[in-house]
Amino acid sequence: MTSNDVPGAHVFDGVRIADFAWVGVGPNATMQMAFHGAEVIRVESSNRPDTFRNGGPRPPGVNNLDASAYFAKFNRGKRSAAINLAHPRGAEVARRLIATADIVTESFAPGFMQRIGLSYEEVRKIKSDVIMCSMSMEGQTGPHAKFRGFGLTLQATAGVTGVTGWPDRSPVGTGVAYTDWVATHLGIIGILSALDHRRRTGEGQYIDLSQFEASTLVLDAGVIDAANTGRVARPLGNRDLRHAPHGVYPCADDHTGSDRWVAIAITSDDQWRRLALIVDRQDWLESDELCHAAGRLAAQEALDEGVARWTSTQTVGEVEQMLQAVGIPTHRASNVRDAHNDPQLAHRNHWWRSDHPVIGEMSYESPAWRLSDTPPPMPRRSPLLGEDSEYVYRELCGYSEQEFQQLIVDGVVE
Amino acid sequence: MSPTTPAALSPYRALDLTAEIGSLSTMVLAGLGVDVIRVEPPGGHPTRKRGPMLREDEASSLYWAQKNAGKRSVTLDLEDEADRERLRALSETADFLFESDAPGAMTARGIGYRDLIERAPRLIYVSITPFGQTGPKSTWAASDLIGHVSGGLSSLVGEPDRAPLRPSVEQAYNITALNAGSAALIALHARHLTGRGQHVDVSMQAAMANTLGNARLYYEMDGIITQRAGGARAFADRATRIIYPCADGYVAFVRIPASMKALHRWMAAEGGEPRFDADKWAGMSIAGNVLPNDDEVTELESEIESFFAARGAQSLYESGQHHGVMICPVNTMQDIVDSPQLAERGFFDEVDDPALGRLRVPGAPLKMSATPWQSRPAPTPGQDQDQVLAAATDITQGA
């Protein structure tokens, strides 16, 4: 703890996580705990590096495993130990590390941890009150347990893709590894619940997190509706079943070089009247049908056209200003540059700067929450592959200097 | 629930005053054992009238049943000082309070964070709003759609020739609520150290800004503004197709190098004559420097298209995966209900809903070996009024 931290800022001080997870979900979950003080040891190997260590962006021309900003995004605040789990002695090192850990996380294909002797049954023999969390695509059991995937495709299995698109075209999905952002939180919530239970009872446990099952939570009533009525939700474009007009409309060129769109969501009759006044549509104001949501839903095709005709004559900033001034939910469709420069996110200090010897200085996201009394300090930068091997082998696993050197020679530390 | 297997968070209580933006957070905590008390206005919470409905009548909301599973309910009129006082007393019995009113609205009624923490210093007060408690947009009007566009995700979703898009289920609300759940439990662990509750300020815009994959990083490092690419991965200045039509719907398949040899073997095993060069495609990294030209991609995709077009989504899933190809069906809600994987894992539960009768419900979103998830029905308005308020009254009279 550094001297300028507030008391309690290291919420998970003394909690150690042996983190065998890789790619998105697991590392994102353990990073949130690292931010709040947990010691997270990424178990890595250059023989089978985290996919994101080969990802981008990276500084031009730098092609080593430490250059990926995408990896850095998910691994700030952690340490990295190089442990070659394919080596016969790799599992022995892993077992020594687990003996010092409170939590073990992994996201390999089901069966891998068993093959190297690190199933939950084995792990709890090493540390009886350990909490182990496996975060796989579809869970540890069942006919599809070993089916492969990642967030880009799993969102299709999990139902998100099928309800994302225009009604007259193919579904499109989200274009990002969407379910990663859902499953991450079930991972955190599961681990922290288990940690609280252990604190009170001394009992550890195993968490089998299926990213598929976790992601059904965000389908609103889609699954419960199909299960009890057979109805199947369909993609609606940007429309809403209860409100209209409700869409994303084109704006005039604002000379930023971006195509410009603005989202407007009329969610009450009051907002509708205010919109009609600003757009100066006497016919809308006088219509008895349009003063109720049902009438507007019936006329939404024409309303969308009318709104779009008006927004096309305004810049996105003008529309935001005029409509927000009268309390109408409105916001530009921010692209990544807008998000990066957004004044509200800047106000929250959302993008945390982090310097890195290979990547250089970049900003990365911070949690979507702010804690009034125990804000975490800025996290340590993302580790180089194996940067903390000596600390982990010598201090945590208890190998002598001579043994450590021999493990290097034998190819375990790589 | 048998008494020998308590849920993980059974010692704790939460007061739930949230609208749609927050109600999933407390639903998850209820499944993990928290005693979640829905505080509803007289006449019931507005989302009780939100579709889809089980029956024709307005009192059969499946939306309510899903988002409020496992909660209890009391009815309080927070416009009335006597009821506000009941809420303050109740907060002394609670570990968490979740609310999603506009910043300042709770304080204006004397039930803001400062008001309650004085009487209930251990209370974790979770505020869930579109933009956060302070800042230039904190007073902006918003909705789920606004969450999608303000965080930037919509710019990566949709067809290039049409507007940026949101998923037709309220992902901005749901992702925000899950963030609030994580944050609340971090604050709970903080309380173990400090002995005190605190104010947790959750922002929907920030939650959505964290879903941009590596796209914002590409802007910061290389100045690239990644654009929506239809049924494809929005990736810097190159998109990679994901969605393909098949005989009865759609499948998701990405031509990552690791899948290409397996795809070739699979197509050959199914009696096809794959023409593409598996070794060459297996050597191409999507993120790397060796890239196919547009003609090569078009040719490959049309070959894959005709193979998929002759087969159904679920059968492509089974046979493709058995050949080691990362392919997934674009499941409808019905496909999820019918999933053999979910059936084998016992995912669906049945509950007796006091208003809706016997319901088949999605079960545990995570399987905890020692403290299993509890599937319980949603409450009727004020069903726990007497029991819950009696305890709070004792506190008021004692004070």
Q: Which domains does chain B have, with CATH numbers?
A: 13-210+377-398 (3.40.50.10540), 242-340 (3.30.1540.10)
Distances (CA, A) of A337 to A68, A257, A347, B82: 20, 11, 16, 49
pLDDT at residue B4, rounded to an integer: 57
> Over chain B, what is the mean pLDDT?
94
Q: Is any Cβ of chain A less than 8 angstroms from the Cβ of B103?
A: no
For chain A, which residues make up each domain, given as ranges?
16-219+350-410, 246-341
Q: Give A258-285 pLDDT, tens digit per residue.
A: 889 999 999 999 999 999 999 999 999 9
Compute the distance between CA of residue A403 and CA of residue A393 in angstroms, rounded to an integer: 9
CA torsion sign for B94, B95, B100, B103 is positive
Residue A178: closest C-alpha in chain B: B211
**A50 or B399, higher pLDDT:** A50
Query: In this structure, what are the phi and psi dihedrals at residue B127, rounded to the nearest 5 degrees?
Result: -105, 125
Tell me the sheet residues that pair with A393.
Answer: none
Residue B329: closest C-alpha in chain A: A157
- How many angstroms away from the CA of A248 is the closest CA of chain B? 6
Q: Give B33-66 pLDDT, tens digit per residue.
A: 999 999 999 999 999 999 999 999 888 999 999 9
Q: Is the peptide bond before A245 cis (omega within 30 degrees of 0)?
A: yes
Q: Is any Cβ of chain B less than 8 angstroms from the Cβ of A211?
A: no
Whether the per-residue pLDDT at B339 is higher than 80: the answer is yes
Contact state of A199 with B192 under an 8 Å Cβ cutoff: yes
pLDDT at residue B290, rounded to an integer: 66
Banded pLDDT at A3 (limits 50, 70, 90): very low
Q: Is any Cβ of chain A less than 8 angstroms from the Cβ of B220?
A: yes
Compute the distance between CA of residue A319 and CA of residue B44 in angstroms, rounded to an integer: 36
Q: Is any Cβ of chain A less than 8 angstroms from the Cβ of B195?
A: no
Q: Give A116-125 pLDDT, tens digit per residue.
A: 999 999 999 9
Between B138, B190, B207, which is nearest A368 by CB? B207
Contact state of B8 with A193 under an 8 Å Cβ cutoff: yes
Between B54, B159, B201, which is nearest A166 by CB? B159
Q: Is any Cβ of chain A less than 8 angstroms from the Cβ of B28?
A: yes
- How many angstroms away from the CA of A400 is the closest CA of chain B? 35
Whether the per-residue pLDDT at B394 is higher than 90: the answer is no
What ipTM does this complex have? Answer: 0.97
Q: What token pair was written down for B36? A: 């979640």
Contacts of A328 in chain B (CB under 8 A): 141
Whether A410 is a known active-site residue: answer: no
Between A36, A197, A258, which is nearest B8 by CB? A197
Banded pLDDT at B395 (limits 50, 70, 90): low
Compute the distance between CA of residue A283 and CA of residue B350 in angstroms, rounded to an integer: 51
Q: Is any Cβ of chain A less than 8 angstroms from the Cβ of B67?
A: yes
pLDDT at residue B396, rounded to an integer: 61
Banded pLDDT at B399 (limits 50, 70, 90): very low
- Give the list of residues 6+ apart from residue B192 with CB closer than 8 angstroms, or none: A199
* Percent over 70 (pLDDT), chain B: 96
* Mean pLDDT value of segment B109-128: 97
pLDDT at residue B288, rounded to an integer: 54
Between B149, B253, B347, which is nearest A333 by CB? B149
Q: Is any Cβ of chain A less than 8 angstroms from the Cβ of B170?
A: yes
* Mean pLDDT value of segment B236-244: 86
Q: Which of A66, A180, A304, A388 is catalytic?
A: A180
Contact state of A331 with B149 under an 8 Å Cβ cutoff: yes
Whether the per-residue pLDDT at B116 is higher than 90: the answer is yes
pLDDT at residue B96, rounded to an integer: 98
Between A150, A247, A324, which is nearest B140 by CB? A324
Contacts of A227 in chain B (CB under 8 A): 337, 348, 360-362
Contact state of B366 with A208 under an 8 Å Cβ cutoff: yes
Q: Is any Cβ of chain A less than 8 angstroms from the Cβ of B51?
A: yes
- Give the list of residues 6+ apart from residue A381 with CB closer than 8 angstroms, or none: A72, A76, A354, A355, A356
Please give the model's pTM, rounded to 2 decimal places: 0.97
Q: Give B253-279 pLDDT, tens digit per residue.
A: 998 888 999 999 999 999 888 999 999
- Phi and psi based region of residue B208 (left: phi greater than 0; alpha: psi -120 to 50; beta: remaining): alpha
Question: What is A246-341's CATH number?
Answer: 3.30.1540.10
Are β-strands B249-253 and B327-329 bridged in parallel, bridged antiparallel, or unpaired?
antiparallel
Between A193, A214, A345, which is nearest B365 by CB? A214
Contact B344, A142 (CB under 8 A): yes
pLDDT at residue A118, rounded to an integer: 97
pLDDT at residue B1, rounded to an integer: 42
Q: Is any Cβ of chain A less than 8 angstroms from the Cβ of B383?
A: no
Return residues 13-72 of A near B (CB < 8 Å): 13, 32, 36, 54-59, 69-70
Mutation target among B134, B161, B166 for the A interface, most CBs of A within 10 A: B166
Element (H, E) at A298: helix A293-298
- How many angstroms away from the CA of A48 is the closest CA of chain B? 13
**A125 or B281, higher pLDDT:** A125
Q: H/E/C letters for each residue in B106-129?
A: HHHCCCCHHHHHHHCCCCEEEEEE
Q: Is any Cβ of chain B less than 8 angstroms from the Cβ of A321?
A: no
pLDDT at residue A7, rounded to an integer: 74
Q: Is any Cβ of chain A less than 8 angstroms from the Cβ of B90?
A: no
Whether the per-residue pLDDT at A252 is higher than 90: the answer is yes
Contact state of B337 with A226 under an 8 Å Cβ cutoff: yes
Contact state of B366 with A56 under an 8 Å Cβ cutoff: no
Crossing angle of helices B81-91 and B385-398, in 10° steps, is 80
* Mean pLDDT value of segment B281-292: 70
Contacts of A70 in chain B (CB under 8 A): 214, 217
Residue A128 exposure: Cα atoms within 13 Å on the Cβ side: 3
* Mean pLDDT value of segment A24-29: 95
* Percent over 70 (pLDDT), chain A: 99
Compute the distance between CA of residue B386 and CA of residue B376 in angstroms, rounded to an integer: 20
Compute the distance between CA of residue B76 and CA of residue B98 in angstroms, rounded to an integer: 15
* Mean pLDDT value of segment B149-166: 96
- How many angstroms away from the CA of B397 is the closest CA of chain A? 31
Contacts of B22 in chain A (CB under 8 A): none
Contact state of A189 with B50 under an 8 Å Cβ cutoff: no
pLDDT at residue B115, rounded to an integer: 97
Nearest of B158, B172, B152 to residue B212 by alpha carbon: B152
Whether the per-residue pLDDT at B151 is higher than 60: the answer is yes
> Over chain A, what is the mean pLDDT?
96
Compute the distance between CA of residue A63 and CA of residue B324 in angstroms, rounded to an integer: 28
* Mean pLDDT value of segment A209-228: 97
Contact state of B225 with A337 under an 8 Å Cβ cutoff: yes
Between B146, B180, B341, which is nearest A331 by CB? B146
Q: Is any Cβ of chain A less than 8 angstroms from the Cβ of B229?
A: yes
CB pairs under 8 A between A and B: 523
Three-class DSSP category at B327: strand
Q: What token pair was written down for A61? A: 């021309």
Contacts of B160 in chain A (CB under 8 A): none
* Mean pLDDT value of segment A408-412: 97
Question: What is A16-219+350-410's CATH number?
Answer: 3.40.50.10540
Mutation target among B134, B200, B341 for the A interface, most CBs of A within 10 A: B341
Beta strands in A26-155 (DSSP E): 39-44, 79-82, 103-106, 131-136
Long-range contacts (CB closer than 8 Å, 24 or more residues apart) made by A395-403: A396/A41, A396/A96, A396/A97, A396/A100, A397/A93, A397/A96, A397/A97, A397/A100, A398/A96, A399/A96
C-alpha torsion angle, residues A181, B100, B126, A186 (rounded to 10):
-20
Residue B163: closest C-alpha in chain A: A248
